[in-house]
Amino acid sequence: MTSQPVTFRGRIQGAFDAGVPPAINKGARGHFQGRRNAEQAFPEMDGMRDRAREIRAHTLSRLDHHLAEFADAVERRGGNVFFAADAAEANEYIVGLARSENVELVVKSKSMVTEEIHLNDAIEAAGIEVVETDLGEFIVQLAGETPSHIIAPVLHKNRYDVGELFSAQLGVEYTDTPGELNDIARTYLRERFLGAEMGVSGANFGVVEDGAICLVTNEGNGRLVTSAPRIHVAVMGMERLVPTRTDLAVMLEVLARSATGQKLSVYSNIVAGPRRDGEPDGPDQFHVVIVDNGRSATLGSAVAEILYCIRCGACLNACPVYRHVGGHAYGTVYPGPIGKVLTPSLFGLEQWHELPAASSLCGACEEVCPVRIEIPKLLVELRKQSTGHMPLGIRTGIAWYSRIATRPRLFRVVTRLGGWMGRLLGRGGWMRRIPWLLSGWTDKRELPAPAPRTFHDWWSNRET
């Protein structure tokens, strides 16, 4: 998506011009309703969300300590741990490992952090083949696109799109029957699983007490990626730890329900260390790459709470902005409400200042967040840090309005003048076109003219 316009508004306009696929709104609403049903069927959900939030808060308050303990535990089980300060370091380590082990084919299960660091590009640049094995990610890869949703990468596509893509890219006969499309992907991927020397997975959680990672999937591809190839590399965002397996159980309770409305995802794999003597399956090598890439800085910032996120995607599904513009408009791998905070804090507010502004602060995201992240509050915080990017007219307008509104007499005079102007400007109480700052409003909406007499003036007359 490198050819996309650089501004959020530009990308939105592009998306609107091209027509935002109705599948996005439909899919997001479907997941939203699924979550709601799951919540209603699980009376403990509210309390579980409180606990989940406490666990995240506790973990992040002592993240350095937990990370050190986790790394020790992984190594005790015979795994290797690599701390990557940024994307480049993470990619270098993984590509370096692949090269030194003469890897020719890498299979991957779904992982947002590897999207974040653009691992596929790095692997391909080294002349090594990499194949995504999550069905959605596989489709995205075939199409040369990026995911448009955290848990449903091809929310923007329908089965007809996929049918055409498969027929064009895989040389199969066109079909739009979901079962047949599944079979095509399964047949294609099965050979890759068996031929790959390296499997790269993400990690939904790292469990500190036993140096394990937990991987949640609905397709079972995660199990194959982590056990069939002789090398398994798990890439994990630095914040994704839970102290104990009991904590993990709480997170899994809220994760699946929030994401898809399932009680539990179909596969919840706990993977710890390489294959031990006497075990039939598993890799010879187990590596965990822990990625910082801006997270330490975020942890020390006013929006640290965004690191509580467990990537369920519920906020995307609930968000009216996301439903209308789709994931690609956000410009990075993290779309929706969570992306509006995460992207600027990981990759720089200067470049991404438009994202926090792209919200009506309706609060639908916070309402569904399994760990109760106060997203609107964080958006306002980022807006606070980027008021310099507001149009000069708005900045000046707010400054003047504040000066007037802190002087009650002046306020009454100005609002009375507004009434006089409204009488001159308005046509039947509505204004059709206002230039400059408010033109954005009147392009598609009328604006009411000020009433001839303010409430203040009415009240004064009433009293006398």
Which residues lie near another protein (CB under 8 A)?
9, 12-13, 16, 320-321, 324-325, 356-364, 366-367, 380-387, 390-391, 394-395, 398-399, 401-402, 404-406, 408, 411, 415, 418-419, 429-430, 437-438, 440-441, 443-451, 453-456, 458-459
Q: What minimum distance in Å lies between the beta carbon of 262 and another protein? A: 24
Give the helix/strand (H/E) hosting 130. Answer: strand 129-132
Question: Hey, how many other C-beta atoms are within 10 angstroms of the C-beta on 268?
Answer: 18
Buried/exposed 357-373: b ≥16 CB within 10 Å, e otherwise: ebbeeeebbbebbbbbb
Q: What minimum distance in Å lies between the beta carbon of 336 and another protein? A: 13
Query: Which amino acid does the sequence have at 384?
Result: K
- Cβ atoms of 233 and 201 closer than 8 Å: yes
Kindly tell me which of 77 and 383 has the beta carbon lying closer to another protein: 383
Kindly tell me which of 143 and 414 has the beta carbon lying closer to another protein: 414
Kindly tell me which of 276 and 384 has the beta carbon lying closer to another protein: 384
User: Which residues are 213's β-sheet partners?
Assistant: 206, 271
Q: What minimum distance in Å lies between the beta carbon of 258 and another protein? A: 17
Q: What minimum distance in Å lies between the beta carbon of 294 and another protein? A: 21
Kindly tell me which of 78 and 422 has the beta carbon lying closer to another protein: 422
- Max CA distance (Å), the chain: 96
Q: What minimum distance in Å lies between the beta carbon of 110 and another protein? A: 28
Kindly tell me which of 168 and 417 has the beta carbon lying closer to another protein: 417
Full DSSP string of 87-119: HHHHHHHHHHHHHHTT--EEEE---HHHHHTTH
Q: What minimum distance in Å lies between the beta carbon of 342 and another protein? A: 18
Write the CA distances from 158 to 145, 166, 220, 272, integer angstroms.
15, 13, 22, 37
Q: What minimum distance in Å lies between the beta carbon of 403 and another protein? A: 8
- Cβ atoms of 224 and 107 closer than 8 Å: yes
Closest CA to 95 of 274, 235, 236: 235
Question: What's the CA gap between 177 and 186, in Å, rounded?
Answer: 14
- Cβ atoms of 75 and 290 closer than 8 Å: no
Kindly tell me which of 9 and 99 has the beta carbon lying closer to another protein: 9
φ and ψ at 344, to 5 degrees?
-65, -35
Kindly tell me which of 16 and 160 has the beta carbon lying closer to another protein: 16
Place of tokens 């609930």: 318
Kindly tell me which of 126 and 447 has the beta carbon lying closer to another protein: 447
Kindly tell me which of 249 and 398 has the beta carbon lying closer to another protein: 398
DSSP state of 270: E
The tokens of 123 are what? 């692997």
Q: What minimum distance in Å lies between the beta carbon of 313 and another protein? A: 18
Closest CA to 249 of 51, 31, 38, 36: 51
Q: What minimum distance in Å lies between the beta carbon of 367 and another protein? A: 6
Question: What's the CA gap between 408 and 357, in Å, rounded?
Answer: 30
The tokens of 180 are what? 């047949």
Q: What minimum distance in Å lies between the beta carbon of 20 and another protein? A: 8
Kindly tell me which of 106 and 449 has the beta carbon lying closer to another protein: 449
